[in-house]
Structure 1
Amino acid sequence: MTKRPRHLHVYTDRHGQERIYLRKPGEKRVPLTGPLFSYQFWEAYHRAAQSVAVAIQTDTQPEDRNPAGSVSAAIAGYYGSAEYKQLADSSRSNRRRILERFRKEHGTKSLAKLETKHINAIIDKKADKPAAANELRKLLHIVFEYAIGAGMLTENPIKRAKRVKYVKRSHRAWTDADVEAYRKRWPEGTLQRLGLEVFIHTGLRRSDAVRLGWSHVKDGWITITTVKSRHRKTLNIPIHPTLWRHIKDTPRNQGTFLHTKWGKDRSAKGATNWIRDAAHDAGLPSDSSPHGLRHAICVRLAEAGCTPHQIQAITGHDNLAEIETYTKAVSQKRLAQIAMDSLANPQSGLANIDANILKMLEALALPSGIEPLSPP
């Protein structure tokens, strides 16, 4: 049997294709030609290994990359800060990806000489990608605030820098028709069906849903600590009867409910592709994602009359304002129905609805303790 070389990463992707990479610690992974152990593989492997070795020999020392007082030094310092280390793994990865791209282009520049006009010029270059421009602005603000605290900077040039206006695109919430079509395509007993029921009956983020298993279930409750929230929190969610029907017969020795067909834990990104593919097979739109199912449960809870705080107790949202978009929409729809019914039947007296009912409808859009939108 041929011995596999060191630092080799081999796996089969979701399309059944074999992927081979040379991945040495601290270096970028290099894709290699397959199949494994073929002539083409060995040729590609030795060529890649030699290239990586040369890159390591000619690479500059870490301290040369971060001269004192430079933008690069501030970014490197931020990576070592408590603020950065306390972020979830996915958040650290996303921030590092954006900052490293900026660092590569502007890292050697003097931090003290960086002015608002320079930041505006950088943002202007990203005007065709407003979301990315604003995200970069936000991260640079965080890094420069760290630099001020570390004595590397006296004033944050980001504070007066421009923001690019744009309409934020949200994830499409699944409709009842979408859910019905999905269930019709994927019957009980399939992993795809289980995936739908887990997402729509827990409201969990994909990063938490893929971790869900029997270790989180006890006495009719799901207890799980979220991994993506700014401040990690433990959620206690009562198990819906429909969800229980789908999970009760799953093997108790299986680590997670939403495992792959090979029995391995599924990644968050993998779960998105998996649900989208299953939804596509069911004839649903291409933007049918797990996050859309999270939106769907918020809409259902709002339609059931739940307050923002009650919905937050299920979904674990950090910000009540996000939830209020659902409850306000439901309140508007109900009030609009009353108004139109009153117009169709003026003698019904529906427009003179009792003040207590109006307060109840307004409460759907506001957390307890906040004054109503209209005076009593």
Structure 2
Amino acid sequence: MTRIIVLPGDGIGPEVAAEARLCLELVSERFGLGFTFEEHDFGGAAIDRHGVPLPEATLAACTAADAILLGAVGGPRWDDAKERPEIGLLKLRKALGLFANLRPARIMPGLEEYSPLRADIAAGADVLVVRELTGGLYFGEKTLEQDRASDLCTYTREEIERIAHVAFQWARQRSGRVTSVDKANVLATSKLWRRVVSEVAQDYSDVALDHLYVDAAAMHLVTSPTRFDVLLTENLFGDILSDELSVIGGSIGLLGSASLGTGGAGMFEPIHGSAPDIAGKDIANPAGAIASAAMLLDHLELPSQARLLEAALEQTLREGHRTADLGGAVGCAAFGARVREILDGAAAAPRAPAHVQASL
């Protein structure tokens, strides 16, 4: 049995997570995979019911899981909470040792018109952001006084080395290029970052490495996104740049992500927020959550099923099924239903033996 923990979370989280879960349930049924699903409170919903964003029962379930599917967390209603919902997310990542955040973004052929960039600039963009998740400003010591505040940014050699290895290993499976982002002309942590990444690169002679300051990287993402293959960043820079990158494809609602460690459960979630203003209206885009479900299947070493789900998602979009963020009128549930209809047909079709599939 494969145990998948579902954390619906807040805002539109339950809506998009439900569509992704239904896709995984279909895959499990059609291929006899034996997935089991458990839902647990997390984020603002957990604050409402338990007083904390990460209850002990939720943490215990996630620790024992094979994979975790997350909807979204946060919202203004918890601004005055002792611990905001996002703190639960940081604690969960830390507790599970999820140090590597993978955020792939590409322009789907035929959907260039939805990019805010000119089609000739956007066409062919395919970038994987590899973001360090457990260090930097988000986890540093914090002080907040009436007229003064500070956030400590700290990185160790070990933290930088392990995320750099992830980036170089992924580059070997892609186009063989890593761009490391820092602010080494100003920040001490970035000076260490650049030095350590350059040292790790010596183990990957087949991968090209270049360095960019974060401000230059932000500019190139919107003027020449095809120059990037794998974008390696520290925590804060990765958070900002991956959100910038997301709109190149037309909507932040399209992109999924994976948070991985050295073993155990990975966590899979769309990169968008909880969007409380549209929650419960059946207009959210579940594509990012469904894309995350495909990444979850890859994590479980089910690449054929992952490709089927990705193909069903892309076909749904190419057919013109668009949610409100893409200028369409298709609802969240209807979009998910169409993905599953295509997926079901593909799963039922005769398939070549595994050794033949691998060579296609």
**TM-score in same-fold range (> 0.5):** no
Structure number with the bigger relative contact order (C-alpha 8 A, sep ≥ 6) is 2
TM-score by length of 2: 0.26
Higher normalized strand content (fraction of residues) = 2
Looking at secondary structure, tell me which structure has more helix per residue: 1
When normalised by structure 1's length, the TM-score is: 0.25
Indicate the structure (1 or 2) with the bigger Cα radius of gyration: 1
